[in-house]
Structure 1
Amino acid sequence: MTQRVLITGAAGRVGAILRPRLARDGRVLRLLDRRPLEAGAGEEVVTGSVTDPDVMLEASAGVDAVVHLAGHPGENTWPEILAVNIDGTHTVFEAARQAGVPRVVFASSNHAVGYHPAGQDAPDDLVPRPDTFYGVSKAAGEALGSLYHDRHGLDVVCLRIGTCAEHPGDERGLGTWLSPDDCGRLVEAAISAPKPGFRVVWGISANTRARWSLDGARALGYEPRDDAEVFADSVTPATAAQKTFLGGDFCAFGPEAK
C-alpha cells in the first residue's frame, strides 16, 4: 500500500533537505509551496499557500502524514507572522482534521523557548519563552498541535529544530546543530513512530556540546549519527546573546539583550 506524505513549504531550505531523504519505495511525497516545483520520481506537486483553506484541503486528501514546514523562516512583522505562521498553521491542522489525516509533524523551533538561559540542560518539555514574533508563532503551533491531538485525536509531533544546515557557522552551533542527514532521520522517526500522541522534542544531532535533551526524539526511534565537533576549529566565537540566551542572536532584538 502506498504511503503519501505531504510536505508544506517544500521549496524552502529544510524542504530541499528532506525531499531526497524522505524518499522511499512505496511512498509518494506530495510537495506544496507557493513557488512552482517540478515533480521527480515518487513525487506530486501542489502549487499554493498554506493560508488558503481550499488549497490545503485538496492537498491533504488521501494523505497519511503532513510535515508542516511552511512559513516565514525568521522574524517578520506581526501581521505577516499572524497571517502565514499562525493562521497558516491553523489552516494546516484544520485541513488535516477535515481530510482525516492521522498525523502532523510540525517544524517548531528553539526560538519558541529562546529567552531561557543558555547553558542549562534543556528538557523536551521546556515551557515556551519565545524570543521573537517568529518564536511566538512556533509556540502557537505547538499549542494548536496539543489542541488538535486532545480534541480531534491527531498524532502530532513538534520538532524544536536547532541549527539545521550543512555545518554550524558559530560556536553556539556546536551544540545546536542538526545535520541534513540527521534532519532526515528525525523527521522519518516522527512520521514512523507508532502512536506518538502529542509530543514536543528537540531536533539536534549527537553533538558533544549539546545541552538540549535527545531523550524525547530517541523515544520516537531517532538515532542521530553526526556531531558538530568536527567543525570546532572553523566556527566563529559566540556572541554575547548566544552566551546568555538559548535563542542566541534572535534575543538581541529584545531589551533584555541590550
Structure 2
Amino acid sequence: MDANLGRVVITGVAGRVGPTVREGLRGEVGDLVLVDRRRLTAGEGETVIEGDVTDPDVARKAFEGADAVVHLAGCSDEAPFRELVDANITGTFTVLEAARRSGVRRVVLAGSNRVTGAYPIHHHVFPDEPLRPDGLYAVSKAAVEALGQMYADKFGLEVVVLRLGSFEAEPTETRHLATWLSPRDCVGFVRAALTASGVGYSAVYAVSANARRFWDLTAGERELGYRPVDDAARFASRFPDDDPFWQGGPQSGEAATAEFTLPYLAE
C-alpha cells in the first residue's frame, strides 16, 4: 500500500465486510481507525472510536487527521424506507460532509450490485448504464452513489463506489456463481480503491472473476488497477445445473420481486 496513505478510517467495522477489510489492511497503513457502535478492542496500530457515524460529532472526531475513509456502515438489505434513509442516505451524507470539513482526500463507499439488480440475467451490465434498482435498499444505494458524485464534482473529494457483489467465504446459493465476492478479492478491491492514482469519481463492480458474472470488470481494472483472482466456478458442482434461476428473470432473483418489497411498504 502507498506509504503516503497514513491514517485510514473504517466505519461499520464490526459488520459483515468490516472484519475482513480490517484484517486485510492491518499493518499496511500508518494508523487504522475503527468506528462502530459495538465495542471493539484495538490491536497494534489501531485506534477504536465507539459511536454511530451518522452523528456528525462522531464522524468529525474519527476523521481528524485522516487521509482516507472506507465507509461500510449502514443498512445492508431491504428495510422500511425511513430506516434506509437514516442509515444509508443520511449516514453517507454525514460521512462525506465530515470528510470534506476534515480535509480527507479519499472516501471509499460501500455500494451494491443491486442498484442494477432489475436487469435480466442475460444482460451484461457496464457501470455507466442507467440504474435499475431492485427495491428500496437499492434505491438508497443509488442515492449513495449520487452523493458521492456530487461531492467529487463540487468539492474535489476523491470518491470510489464499490458495487459489492455477494460477499461470502464461499458461494452458498446458485446465484453466487455469478455474484460471489471472495474475501481475498474484497480486500483487493478496497486496497486498490484506496491507492489508485488519478481518481475523481469512480463507480465499479467489486465482484470476483466469476465465469458467469453479470457485470463488466474493465472499469475496475482501468480505473483502479485491480483484476480479481477468484472464480465461483470451482464451487459449481454444489448446485444443480437446471436451477430455475438460470432460466431467466432479474439478476437479483427474489430480491427484485414485488413480494420481496411489499411488506416494507406497509411500515
- Common fold, TM-score beyond 0.5? yes
| Identical pairs, percent | 46
Residue 175 (structure 2) pairs with residue 177 (structure 1): no
Residue 255 (structure 2) pairs with residue 250 (structure 1): yes
Residue 156 (structure 2) pairs with residue 156 (structure 1): no
Task: Give CA-to-partner distance per residue, 1:136-174, whole Å, 9 cap, x none.
Answer: 111000000000000000011111111111011122111
Amino acid at match of 1:14: V
Distance 2:135 2:81 in 1: 10
Amino acid at match of 2:105: P
Query: Structure 1: any 5+ residue segments left out of the alignment?
Result: none
Amino acid at match of 2:32: L
**Could you tell me which residue of structure 1 aligns to residue 234 of structure 2?**
230
Task: Give CA-to-partner distance per residue, 1:90-141, whole Å, 9 cap, x none.
Answer: 1000000000101110110011111122221111212222112110111000
Distance 1:37 1:231 in 2: 34
Query: Does the residue aligned with 1:169 lie in a helix, a strand or coil?
Result: coil
Distance 2:191 2:247 in 1: 30
Tell me how far 1:4 sits from its aligned partner: 0.9
8 Å CA contact 1:168, 1:235 repeated in 2: no
| Residue 102 (structure 2) aligned to one of 77, 86, 99 | 99
Alignment TM-score, normalising by the size of structure 2: 0.91
Count of aligned residue pairs for this structure pair: 257
Query: Structure 2: any 5+ residue segments left out of the alignment?
Result: 263-267
Query: Does the residue aligned with 2:149 lie in a helix, a strand or coil?
Result: helix
Give structure 1 regions of 4+ aligned residues with deviation exceeding 2 angstroms.
Answer: 24-27, 235-243, 252-257
Distance 2:40 2:121 in 1: 39
**Could you tell me which residue of structure 2 aligns to residue 77 of structure 1?**
80
- CA distance change for structure 1 residues 211 and 113 in 2, over 3 Å: closer, same or farther? closer
Distance 1:83 1:174 in 2: 32
Residue 37 (structure 2) pairs with residue 51 (structure 1): no
**Could you tell me which residue of structure 2 aligns to residue 221 of structure 1?**
225
Distance 1:80 1:242 in 2: 34
Query: Does the residue aligned with 2:69 lie in a helix, a strand or coil?
Result: strand
**Which sits farther off after the overlay, 245-254 or 207-216?**
245-254
Distance 2:167 2:260 in 1: 27
Task: Give CA-to-partner distance per residue, 1:52-91, whole Å, 9 cap, x none.
Answer: 0111011111111111110011111111111111111110
Q: Please report the RMSD computed on the Cα atoms of aligned residues, expressed in angstroms.
A: 2.0
Distance 1:23 1:111 in 2: 29
Distance 1:254 1:167 in 2: 28
Alignment TM-score, normalising by the size of structure 1: 0.94
Distance 1:200 1:25 in 2: 24
Distance 1:148 1:100 in 2: 13
